[in-house]
Amino acid sequence: MITIAVDCMGGDHGPSITLPACATFLASHPGARLILVGQPDALARLPAGLDPARVQVVAASEVVAMDDPVEVALRRKKDSSMRVAITQVKDGAAQVAVSAGNTGALMAIARFVLKTLDGIDRPAIASQMPNFHGGATTMLDLGANVDCRAEHLLQFAVMGSALVAASGKESPSVGLLNIGEEAIKGNEMIKQAGQLLRQAAANGDLNFRGNVEGNDIFKGVVDIVVCDGFVGNVALKTTEGLASMIGSFIREEFSRNLFTRIAALVALPVLSAFKRRVDHRRYNGAALLGLRGLVFKSHGSADAFAFEQALERAYDAAQHQLLDNVKSRIAHAAPLLAQSGLAPEPATAA
């Protein structure tokens, strides 16, 4: 059995979305069980689809709001559903935790409760972007680290390789996001990161293919794209907006006049297929990599379908022993990571 601890209170909608998603997920995953964490009143009535034999309810008296500062979530709300869910992973009651809550708070709490793995200075957020091949390109970091050093990007590449390898691709290709493919392009940090990644490839630590540009993310040129959190988050939000734009376009064309309705009706199968391919809900569920436990982040505005996808990704990660894979690859790259000379950052106090 794979046990997932679910922060049922997190996100824009809380239990009205998370509980139905949990019920649907359990129905299609007989090898899973859930620990539902939240305020007792909110979890008093569970959906009929939740099998009592595979569900445990754990009470939490507080909720981290989407606009709570990190300091409030970390230091004042020590019995929040988010923190209690992550603690289930630390205590061994669950293999992975899932939350749709405040991203900054989730990363801070996860880092404090679980700590970072040896050899990793900063955890990163990794998720998938749809590409033209009908698959997905894994990208990190997507917002956890706005200011990065070259050594951080090396760590991200190693962890991202472990994430994709856990899905069955033994030697996934890695690209460094840059303004051009040439090694001389980019600022000094990017150039230094390129040197480290090429050295890592020479050592057999990862399969680095060189620099990639923004459009290569969607072309599927490489399996993994590495960048700092600022750039990654902008790319993520752009992708999410694309599906919404296509949906709005279809609705608008159907509402204009008879001619546009007929034209839209003819094009509808193609537009609908494209919309489905780029639908960010299908790729919901970002891994927080670099921690001593598995934590997955759902989009805060996720509907039941999207939250179910996050549960699916968390389940697959635990089933394919992602944490062990990350540890193994970090250990292999340890000499180069140590050689990079990255000084450890001070621990955050709660």
pLDDT digits (tens, 9 = 90+) for 257-277: 666 667 666 666 655 555 565
Name the β-bridge partners of 210.
175
Distance, CA of 195 to CA of 139 (rounded, Å): 20
pLDDT digits (tens, 9 = 90+) for 99-116: 999 999 999 999 999 999
**Residue 346 covered by a domain:** no
Domain match, 277 and 297 both: no
Domain match, 243 and 141 both: yes
> SS3 letters for the chain?
CEEEEEECCCCCCCHHHHHHHHHHHHHHCCCEEEEEEECCCCCCCCCCCCCHHHEEEEECCECCCCCCCHHHHHHHCCCEHHHHHHHHHHCCCCCEEEECCCHHHHHHHHHHHHCECCCCCCCEEEEEEECCCCCEEEEECCCCCCCCCHHHHHHHHHHHHHHHHCCCCCCCEEEEECCCCCCCCCCHHHHHHHHHHHHHHHCCCCEEEEEECCCHHHHCCCCEEECCHHHHHHHHHHHHHHHHHHHHHHHHHHCCCHHHHHHHHHHHHHHHHHHHHHCHHHHCCEEEECECCEEEECCCCCCHHHHHHHHHHHHHHHHCCHHHHHHHHHHHCHHHHHHCCCCCCCCCCC
Rounded mean pLDDT of 23-35? Answer: 95
Give the position of tokens 């009706």: 265
Of 93-102, 278-287, 307-316, 333-342, which gets the smallest average pLDDT? 333-342
Range of the domain at 25: 2-117+290-319
- Residue 202's CB: how many other CB atoms inside 10 A? 10
Please check the confidence at residue 160 and state whether its pLDDT lies above 70. Answer: yes
**Residue 201 covered by a domain:** yes
**Residue 217 covered by a domain:** yes
Distance, CA of 299 to CA of 231 (rounded, Å): 18
Domain match, 112 and 70 both: yes
Domain match, 103 and 148 both: no
Burial classification of residue 258, based on how many CB atoms lie within 10 Å of its CB (0-12 exposed, 13-18 middle, 19 or more buried): exposed
Domain match, 33 and 62 both: yes
Contact 285, 312 (CB under 8 A): yes
Domain match, 262 and 304 both: no
Domain match, 236 and 298 both: no
- Count of domains in the chain? 2
Token couple for 124: 């990163």
**Residue 313 covered by a domain:** yes
pLDDT above 70 covers a percentage of the chain that reads 85
Domain match, 210 and 191 both: yes
Domain match, 266 and 158 both: yes
Contact 222, 129 (CB under 8 A): no
Domain match, 14 and 86 both: yes
What is the chain's mean pLDDT, rounded?
A: 88
pLDDT confidence of residue 340: 67
Domain match, 275 and 168 both: yes
Please report which confidence band the pLDDT of residue 167 belongs to, taking 50, 70 and 90 as the band edges: confident
Please report which confidence band the pLDDT of residue 349 belongs to, taking 50, 70 and 90 as the band edges: very low
Rounded mean pLDDT of 143-172? Answer: 91
132 or 228: which leads in pLDDT: 228
Rounded mean pLDDT of 26-43? Answer: 95
Rounded mean pLDDT of 151-172? Answer: 92
> At 88, which CATH number?
3.40.718.10
pTM (two decimals): 0.87
pLDDT digits (tens, 9 = 90+) for 119-145: 898 899 999 888 887 788 999 999 888
Nearest Cα residue to 46 out of 70, 15, 24:
15
**Residue 305 covered by a domain:** yes
Domain match, 49 and 34 both: yes
Please check the confidence at residue 252 and state whether its pLDDT lies above 70. Answer: no
Name the β-bridge partners of 291.
116
**Residue 298 covered by a domain:** yes
**Residue 348 covered by a domain:** no
